[in-house]
Amino acid sequence: MTSATSDTLTLGGDLAVHRLGFGAMRITGTGVWGPPADRDECLRVLRRAVELGVDFIDTADSYGPYISEELIREALYPYDGVVIATKAGLLRTAPDVWEPLGFPAYLRQECEMSLRRLGVDTIDLFQLHRIDAKFPLEDQIGELVALQQEGKIRHIGVSEVTVEQLAAVRAITPVASVQNMFNLTMRAAEPVLDVCEADGIAFIPWFPLAAGPLAAPDGPLQRIAAEHDASPSQLALAWLLKRSPVMVPIPGTSRVAHLEENVAAARIELTDAEFDTLSEAGAAQG
């Protein structure tokens, strides 16, 4: 059971990672706030992910806040061969509360603090968590470019952008990744994915496992999953991996058993007919 069977993507032109990563939002408390209920299990999850071949871990300063980055360092430092991506640009004031904050000095502060929490001199992939309409885009992205020029960021990514916003960002700097919500039934970001695929930009779908009614006992997801001796969530991940060669799903969990199930999805090979059936069913639900 290893993600090494999934193919790879070269992030930013020089970082090869397996296309099934790990999203580290869920190794925090309820409402993505405070420490997790079972800290030791979360540390085991991180270490087991790497044992299984996962070499791309996505986190953010706002997860906890700070808790996720701290646990990643405790579990995995010095990260031998593992790419750690983080983000800034969302202010946390309470559980389940997320407020965009793109003030350039704040973005710089959070980058500096992430460097300290992760224990690195350079962050492999630093993503603007949200574009903040209160500040000029060129100031927000410009601050990340300045940090990159200082050697503190290797590659720049963005999250929850439209095609137009992505083009505006790329007019300022190369973009290594885009992280938008995308799954079998929620595919509003397909135009953005198409741009990413055409130009070799990694597309990181968050909320990758949502399947809704498709996972019902008599639904197409369940039927095809049974044929593969798999779970509906595994099939949802397999669909994402087949959807595009630039897709890098990052399912997250706080339990080792669930992690192992997710990672095993990289070994599922859908036929073209199965993929089409799921695509049509997902579009009908979306």
Catalytic sites, residue numbers:
63
Spatial neighbors of 1 by CB under 8 A, at least 6 apart, are: 52, 260, 263, 264, 267
Contact 68, 24 (CB under 8 A): yes
Taking each helix axis from N to C end, the angle separating 163-170 and 190-199, rounded to the nearest 10 degrees, works out to 30
Taking each helix axis from N to C end, the angle separating 67-76 and 104-118, rounded to the nearest 10 degrees, works out to 30
Contact 234, 211 (CB under 8 A): no
Burial 250-283 (b: 16+ CB within 10 A, else e): bbbbbebeebbbbbbbbbbebeeebbebbeebbe
> Token digits for 258?
């669930």
**What is the distance between the alpha carbons of residues 160 and 158, in angstroms, rounded to a whole number?**
7
Specify burial of residue 14 (Cβ count, 10 A radius: 0-12, 13-18, 19+): exposed
Spatial neighbors of 130 by CB under 8 A, at least 6 apart, are: 89, 90, 100, 102, 159, 160
